[in-house]
Amino acid sequence: MKAAIQVVLCKCCVDLPQVLDLQKLEKLASESGNVVSVITVNSACDGDELAAVVKDAREKEADRAIILACYKKEISPSLLKAYKRAKINEFLVDIVNIRDEAVLPNADSREDAQSKAEGMLSAAIVRSRMLVPLSKSTEEMRTKNVVIIGAGIAGQAAVHAAAKTGAHTIVIEKSGKSLKVPGVLLSRSQVIGAKGYSGNYQLKIKVSEKIEDLDCAAIVIASGGGWTALRGPLAKASKEAMPLYELYLKVRSGQLPKGPVVVVDSPDPAGKTMKAQDYAWGATLETVLDLKKRSPETEIYVVFQEMRAFGMSEMAYKQAAEMGVKFVRYDLAGAPKIDPKEPTRLAVKDFSQGELLNIQFGTLAFAAVPMNESNKVIADALRIPMSADGGVRRGSIQRGPVSTPRPGIFVCGSAMFPKPKDIAMAEGEAAGSMAGEYVRAGVIEYGGSVAQITQEKCSACLTCVRTCPYEAPFIGVASKAEIRTQLCQGCGMCVGICPSKAIDLLHYTDDQISEQTRVLLGGGA
Ligand code: SF4
Ligand code: SF4
């Protein structure tokens, strides 16, 4: 297949034309072999401009395209759909994120930005020439079941939203609570294992003492809660202590805690068993500010070893200090202690002042949140990684804040990390609707840029089988590795680790990567 490439330069973000010489890029593209069209547009996201781009591709008989733009194009399904209508294979459309990778890192040097952009364009052209069309296969979903794990606030919102799409909903709830929900409620039930792949999962469920199998097409993890089991010497010494999340809810609902209020980063300040997660500081500042506004006279202390108040939280920190919240920093030698005989007195050495403080408190809360153990069981069963904070890991916060790395599995509410009710409900609705819509499609698509094994090279060492996080490789009847394409997510881990170099990731073969690298390092296109 002879490559006929269309190059599209998108100006949509104002940074691009301000920093780059687009005419030079146009010239470079038009003088490169196999490029049949170069077109510059104001915004490739705009429907009219997109139509013009695709018309141009058809007229110039392009069979592939390179779009130099920003990350938004990567997530724009309309772009790929438009090319599909023009009969251009979706795997032959490459988006080069010139904004984030060339312009923004070199915003203070137009020369460097231009040189990087030119390198990226040349490398993309070389890559485009080497690509071959790929296809996707489809498989019908065997069921319209959407399983919702957890019948808390997020789970209930999810089940109603999924039912509205026409999905058959099944709620799996650990406790014995009885609820009126659309579909079926399996109480005293737990997911203990899962087989299959997105669109066609088989769950193993423990219902009371019986083990049952359940087919489903999509899953919503709404297991929430359980973030309350505090461990560590401070929690042991003060029986009344609570996790920050509880204090947050109390303050928000108008129940003012008994003062003085002390928030310590961890119930195990000198140990390593529980560290404050990053999000905890934002929540700490929000809680103390809320409390100070409701009750200006309440004395509040925030005791911490290292505070990571990101972004705009810095402003909240400043505001809280101005409103009289006392921030006490400690180091390991002066870590806070509570004598069990005096469970309402916290002794801590203020690192900045060198002074030993004895704080008599009415309420003690900890910013560190213990891991929700039941989330781990569910995540392990569904083969979804956990976040460093101990929650179920979601996909991209921008592209899919309630999705997970596995298509067809969604997550919402406190299954990720503790959240207030309104946010948990909103996420539950979003996750339920997405699961319902996923199931409504009725078919799953798979294939495309996935791993492929050259069996003659395979020594059946099992390394790929053990490495793949999605359980896609297996040893087949010929005693050689094979890939279950439906499960492969194209992550490339098996490719890098196979000692026999028997695996390729389609569209990211060694030859394609080497050629691109050669050009990026200054070799000619
Ligand atoms: S890692 Fe490579 S050699 Fe080992 S089983 Fe997998 S494909 Fe075969
Ligand atoms: S590319 Fe990733 S998901 Fe696919 S088989 Fe290899 S390790 Fe598994």
DSSP string for residues in 314-349: HHHHHHHHHTTPEEEE--GGG--EE-TTSTTEEEEE
Q: Among 454, 456, 462, 467, which residue has the most ligand 1 atoms within 8 Å of its CB, making it the best to mutate?
A: 462
Tokens 């881990």, residue located: 493
Atom of ligand 2 nearest to the CA of 487: 3
CATH code (residue 32): 3.40.50
| Same domain assignment for residues 53 and 129 | yes
Q: 518 in a domain, yes or no?
A: no
The string of pLDDT tens digits covering residues 294-311 is 999 999 999 988 877 666
pLDDT at position 249, please?
83
Q: How many domains does the chain have?
A: 4
pLDDT at position 13, please?
63
Identify the CA nearest to 216 among candidates 501, 451, 438: 438
Atom of ligand 2 nearest to the CA of 505: 1
| Same domain assignment for residues 421 and 491 | no
pLDDT at position 228, please?
61
| Same domain assignment for residues 166 and 64 | no
pLDDT at position 378, please?
87
Q: 515 in a domain, yes or no?
A: no
Tokens 């569904």, residue located: 382
pLDDT at position 351, please?
92
| Same domain assignment for residues 421 and 388 | yes
Query: Residue 309 sits in which domain range?
Result: 233-366
pLDDT at position 391, please?
81
Q: 513 in a domain, yes or no?
A: no
φ, ψ (nearest 5 deg) of residue 366: -115, 130
The string of pLDDT tens digits covering residues 15-45 is 677 888 999 999 999 999 999 999 998 887 7
SS3 470: coil
Low-confidence ranges of the chain (pLDDT < 50): none
Cβ atoms of residues 137 and 103 within 8 Å: no
431 lines ligand 1 (CB under 6 A): no
The string of pLDDT tens digits covering residues 156-181 is 999 999 999 999 999 999 888 778 88
Q: 523 in a domain, yes or no?
A: no
pLDDT at position 157, please?
96
What is the Cα–Cα distance from 389 to 373, expressed in whole angstroms?
A: 12
461 lines ligand 1 (CB under 6 A): yes
CA-proximal residue: ligand 1, atom 3 (nearest): 458
pLDDT at position 76, please?
67
Residues with Cβ within 8 Å of residue 489, at least 6 apart in sequence: 405, 406, 470, 472
| Same domain assignment for residues 463 and 494 | yes
pLDDT at position 278, please?
64
Domain end residue (candidates: 115, 134, 153): 134
Burial class of residue 22, CB neighbours in 10 A (0-12, 13-18, 19+): middle
Domain end residue (candidates: 366, 399, 422): 366
| Same domain assignment for residues 359 and 282 | yes
| Same domain assignment for residues 290 and 395 | no
pLDDT at position 238, please?
87
Q: 139 in a domain, yes or no?
A: no
What is the Cα–Cα distance from 107 to 20, expressed in whole angstroms?
A: 10
| Same domain assignment for residues 217 and 270 | no
Domain end residue (candidates: 423, 443, 463): 443
What is the Cα–Cα distance from 229 to 371, expressed in whole angstroms?
A: 8
pLDDT at position 246, please?
85
| Same domain assignment for residues 340 and 382 | no
| Same domain assignment for residues 48 and 117 | yes
SS3 375: helix
CATH code (residue 461): 3.30.70.20
What is the Cα–Cα distance from 387 to 385, expressed in whole angstroms?
A: 7
Q: 520 in a domain, yes or no?
A: no
| Ligand 2 centroid distance, CA of 193 (Å) | 21
Q: 23 in a domain, yes or no?
A: yes
463 lines ligand 1 (CB under 6 A): yes
pLDDT at position 38, please?
96
Q: 83 in a domain, yes or no?
A: yes
The per-residue pLDDT of the chain, averaged, comes to 88
| Ligand 1 centroid distance, CA of 504 (Å) | 11
pLDDT at position 405, please?
84
| Same domain assignment for residues 384 and 436 | yes
Atom of ligand 1 nearest to the CA of 475: 5
| Order of strands, sheet of 168-172, starting from the edge strand that comes earlier in the sequence | 184-186, 168-172, 145-149, 218-221, 409-411
**Assessment of whether the complete model's pTM goes beyond 0.85:** no
